[in-house]
Amino acid sequence: MVNIKENSIKYIFLLSGLLSIFILLGIFYLLFSNSYPALRDVGIKAFFSRGYWNPTAYSVPQYSILNLIKGTFMVGAGSLLFVVPLGVACAAYLAEVAAPREREIFKPVIEILAGIPSVVLGFFGLVVVAPLLSRIFGLPNGINALNGSILVGIMALPTVISLAEDAISAVPQEYRHASLALGATRWQTLKNVTVPAALSGILAASLLGMGRAIGETITVLMATGNALADPSSFLDSVRTLSANIAIEMGEVPRGSLHFHSLFVVGLVLFLITFIVNLLADIIFNRYREGV
């Protein structure tokens, strides 16, 4: 009797584990099978050759997603540029400097930051960040890649902070003591011993933050302007892969070539985030073994 109960519980857990794998595979299949007609009729090359994304052109439709990929990476990498220093500094503060009481206040606040709906953050981008950027840089409007980077950075910040804090806290106390006992100050110890020892964990945290940034849709859609042109700087309007799908999917005739080519965009996005997350995972595991 006990055995049956034990076994059934075991299988329930096994099933839920298998379910997530099944869903992952299912999504991958869905993406691939729906992309296939476009890949077959348009050809992979058309997606990755110079040009624009314009599948609904009257004369010659164009399917190049290079500008979209560029826009996606600009927003993702741009967010890293300020989220990594900020996140690591914040994590170092929490892990090394803050009194337990301060930590008790800071950590929940940061968690709440993670809970802000992305649409609300989009408002923030339109109403606060955009006017600010337009005034600082003297632009007609501040709806551009930089705006998207900032907002997505704010979204990624909690992830980066909490993972980087874990990495810093995991550095053995002995290293700190050895450094302090040699006459190093707390700051020297943090800069020269603790953070370098936690570096791979911090790197993994940053990549996961970037993975989040790349996949982010609605905030970016609201803040970046969604122009299809080739962006030449962070002050240009860009459209990301994710925003492109969200904008066009609602209006596209089901089953058309345009419809299927949007799935190609999704497939590319999926592969990019998959690779970034995989990379983060590899780095993270290596750091686990290193310590």
What is the binding site for another protein (CB under 8 A)?
172, 174-175, 177-185, 188, 192-193, 196-197, 290
> Is the CB of 57 or the CB of 99 nearer to another protein?
99
Q: How far apart are CA 118 and CA 97, in angstroms?
A: 31
Residues 261 and 55 sit within 8 Å (Cβ to Cβ): yes
Compute the C-alpha angle 205/217/162, nearest 5°: 20
Smallest distance from the beta carbon of 56 to another protein, in angstroms? 56
> Is the CB of 140 or the CB of 183 nearer to another protein?
183
Distance of CA 31 to the CA centre of its chain: 20
Smallest distance from the beta carbon of 98 to another protein, in angstroms? 13
Sequence-separated (6 or more) residues with CB below 8 Å from residue 145: 71, 74, 75, 78, 224, 231, 233, 234, 235, 236, 237, 238
> Is the CB of 59 or the CB of 173 nearer to another protein?
173
Q: What's the farthest any 2 CA atoms get from each other in the chain?
A: 76
Q: How far apart are CA 142 and CA 123, in angstroms?
A: 13
Smallest distance from the beta carbon of 97 to another protein, in angstroms? 13
> Is the CB of 82 or the CB of 175 nearer to another protein?
175
Residues β-bridged to residue 63: 53
Reading phi first (left if > 0) and then psi (alpha if -120 to 50, else beta), residue 54 is in beta
Q: How far apart are CA 68 and CA 40, in angstroms?
A: 21
> Is the CB of 251 or the CB of 289 nearer to another protein?
289
Smallest distance from the beta carbon of 278 to another protein, in angstroms? 25
Smallest distance from the beta carbon of 161 to another protein, in angstroms? 23
Sequence-separated (6 or more) residues with CB below 8 Å from residue 163: 201, 204, 205, 208, 209
> Is the CB of 65 or the CB of 94 nearer to another protein?
94
Three-state SS for 234? coil
Smallest distance from the beta carbon of 84 to another protein, in angstroms? 21
Query: Other CB atoms closer than 10 Å to residue 233's CB: what's the count?
Result: 10
> Is the CB of 162 or the CB of 200 nearer to another protein?
200
